[in-house]
Amino acid sequence: MIRSFWNNERRLGTATRIFRLMSTLIGLSLVLAAAGCVQESPNGNTAPASNTNATSNAPPIAETPPPKADNPAPKDETLTLPVLDAFFAQESFADELKAKLQLTDAQVNQLRAIARQETSKLRESKSDDQYTGSAAAARQEAVQQIRTAIGAQKSDELLAFVSDRWNGGATAATTPDAKSGDKSSAKSSAASSAIPADTRIVVNAPAFRMDVFEDGRLSKSYKIGIGYPEFPLPIGLRKAETIIFNPSWTPPDEPWVESANSKVKIGEKVAAGDKLNPLGPIKIPIGLPSLIHGGKAPAKLGGFASHGCVGLTTPQVQDFAARLAQLSGTQLTQEQFAEYLKHKTDTKSVKLARPVMVELRYDTITVEDGKLHIYRDVYERGTNTEENLRAVLQSNGMSFDKLSDAARTAALRALNAMSRNAGGKPVTETDSKPAKNKDSTGKVTRLIKGAKEAVIDIPELAGKGYPAAVDLDTGVPPKAQAPRARKRR
């Protein structure tokens, strides 16, 4: 589903290689429902566009130490062959490889072929079956194939080039005007999440949470769906500049489009408002390759739900768009907003008066509202290490060695429990080795059921850290109260 959701506004998604033996094959209806990261481009193409207060109920944990800091995530942590294929969907990408990396036509064509071959295998699954693969191994296998095609030196140059483009030209999502917190690279959770002092949107993928800050004050939080490991949310600073009401969608030239159960045709635009349109009523571009958009079912929130995008339900995205307009000083009245949504077949773009910063993070270890939170390393980036834990505590004025024995034990056990991939397997050094399997059908990784977060109450952290969610919108509509029975007189 890569190029599919990459044909519009040519954004690119770091789609982690489509690893073998991921979940069951899906039909198009789910593909459209779950893969809604698509943007319309001028040429009509499409592009895919990613807090509890009690200890987690994690399953029994083997008494094995958490990954060590000397086993960092690979440098190619965002590149997969489907992502590379998505880049090739941009008309200028091949020319840039030849001009900037000095690749030959033959090398470019070979890269295009191996990327396309993997993308053509991609399917999604309707079920949440466990998957036995590894996102890290998928990334590594992609690198090996690229090196075979163009050599080690050119491969490294390509990885750096794609990584920079994927992360919006900023490799570190630092917060220069943060109130507190270490300003370390966004590639790890080596420091506690900084609290913005300005107006911006903060998305932390492992927490499945999006926050709205107004002049340094957290005013609203949303539970979100994030990109599959094959299509992860990137990391870095982006900008929201436009709200697009009633976006249309053009199915890409992909094998799944005209499958047996398909109701759409390659190249035939799916109109705004059509039930087959995966984008919902509103999309907000935030820079290649991602969108914030609606159309998601509440069940998709808190898990993988998109191809490099932030997924919301329709009510959520409507609420968020209204807030975004207000934050940017855009004159968009409630009457105008309602009028745009009323005419579901008319696409309307509203340019924001001022761009709003969107910060995409991957923080798996944080101090939030005086408690230590450790999130599952769903993208297998090796961030749940003791070294990173120590750095997070240190940035909040607490030494790991000064914790009580019980707190240290609980923290290390939580690290171990959350150092697991989407399939529930430990994120270890062996995961970086590509596995061989006879099944050549790539399937999108599903997040199996299980603990996604561990929370540890440490008294010394009281009053410190990132704020707790405010007015959290979980995407689940409130239950209607049953009418009271009339009393007989």
> What is the residue-wise DSSP string for 120-169?
TT-B--SS-------HHHHHHHHHHHHHHHH-HHHHHHHHHHHHHHHTTT
Which tokens belong to 312? Answer: 């919301």
Task: Count other C-beta atoms under 10 Å from residue 62's C-beta.
Answer: 7
Model confidence over 96-116: pLDDT tens digits? 999 999 999 999 999 999 888
Least confident piece of the model among 127-141, 220-234, 400-414: 127-141
What integer pLDDT is reported at residue 63 of this predicted model?
A: 40
Residue scoring higher pLDDT (441 or 255): 255
How many CB atoms lie under 10 A from the CB of residue 475?
23
Percent of the chain with pLDDT over 90: 43
Which of 35-49, 279-293, 421-435 shows the lowest mean pLDDT across its residues? 35-49
380 φψ region: left (φ > 0), alpha (ψ -120 to 50), beta (else): left
Mean per-residue pLDDT, 405-421: 91
Q: Mean pLDDT, to the nearest integer, of 22-46?
A: 37
Q: Which two tokens stand for residue 155?
A: 């491969």
Residue 488 lies in a domain: no
The mean of the pLDDT values for the chain is 74
CB neighbourhood size of 319 (10 A): 16
Per-residue confidence (pLDDT) for residue 107, from 0 to 100 = 95
Residue 256's CB is within 10 A of a number of other CB atoms, namely 23
167 against 93, higher pLDDT: 93
Mean pLDDT of 340-355: 93
Does residue 485 form part of some domain? no
| pLDDT value at residue 264 | 58
Q: Is the pLDDT of residue 380 over 60?
A: yes
Total domains present in the chain: 1
Q: Which segments of 347-431 does DSSP mark as H helices, in order?
A: 386-395, 405-418
Using DSSP, how many helices (H) and how many strands (E) does the chain show? 10, 13
Would you state the pLDDT for residue 100?
Answer: 92
Q: Which residue has the higher pLDDT, 457 or 127?
A: 457
Higher per-residue pLDDT: 457 or 62: 457
Q: Give the tens place of pLDDT for each residue, 385-412.
A: 999 999 999 999 999 999 999 999 999 9
Confidence of residue 131 (pLDDT cuts 50, 70, 90): very low
**Dist CA 443 CA 126 (whole Å):** 11
Least confident of 4-8, 22-26, 91-95: 22-26
Q: What is the largest CA-CA distance in the chain?
A: 90
Nearest to 84 by CA among 50, 112, 49, 120: 112
Q: Indicate the pTM of the whole model.
A: 0.74
Q: How many CB atoms lie within 10 A of CB 265?
A: 11
The first and second tokens of residue 487, run together, are 């009393």
Tell whether 359 is covered by a domain. Answer: yes
Q: Is residue 483 part of a domain?
A: no
Which stretch of DSSP H or E encloses residue 196?
none
Ordered DSSP codes for 307-367:
SSSEE--HHHHHHHHHHHHHHTT----HHHHHHHHHSTTS-EEEEEEEEEEEEEE--SEEE
Q: How confident is the model at residue 437 (pLDDT cuts 50, 70, 90)?
A: very low
The pLDDT, as a whole number, for residue 312 is 97
Q: Strand 209-214 relative to strand 226-227: parallel, antiparallel, unpaired?
A: unpaired
Structural domain includes residue 481: no
pLDDT tens digits, 146-172: 999 999 999 999 988 887 777 665 433
Higher-pLDDT residue of 7 and 476 is: 476
**Candidate from 110-114, 191-195, 220-224, 412-416 with smallest mean pLDDT:** 191-195
* pLDDT (mean) for 295-316: 91
Name which of 128-142, 272-286, 302-316, 445-459 the model is least confident about.
Answer: 128-142
Give the SS3 label for residue 53: coil
pLDDT at 123: 55
In whole angstroms, how far apart are CA 143 and each of 234, 290, 392?
18, 23, 31
Whether the predicted pLDDT of 2 surpasses 50 = no
Could you tell me what percent of the chain has a pLDDT over 70? Answer: 63
> Per the domain annotation, does 128 fall within a domain?
yes
User: Per-residue confidence at 44, pLDDT binned at 50, 70, 90?
Assistant: very low
Q: Which of 371, 344, 321, 343 is nearest to 473 (CA)?
A: 321
Judge whether 89 and 7 are in contact, CB under 8 Å.
yes
Q: Which domain holds residue 27?
A: 1-174+181-474
Q: Tell me the CA distances in angstroms from 2 to 13, 95, 129, 165, 436, one per residue in order.
A: 8, 20, 22, 16, 23
pLDDT recorded at residue 249: 65
- What's the distance, Cα to Cα, between the start and end of the chain in Å? 64
Q: Would you state the pLDDT for residue 260?
A: 53
* Edge-to-edge order in the sheet of strand 217-223: 217-223, 209-214, 200-204, 348-361, 236-245, 282-285, 291-293, 310-311
Instruction: Find the mean pLDDT for residues 333-357.
Output: 93
Q: Does 6 fall in a domain?
A: yes
Domain assignment present for 487 = no
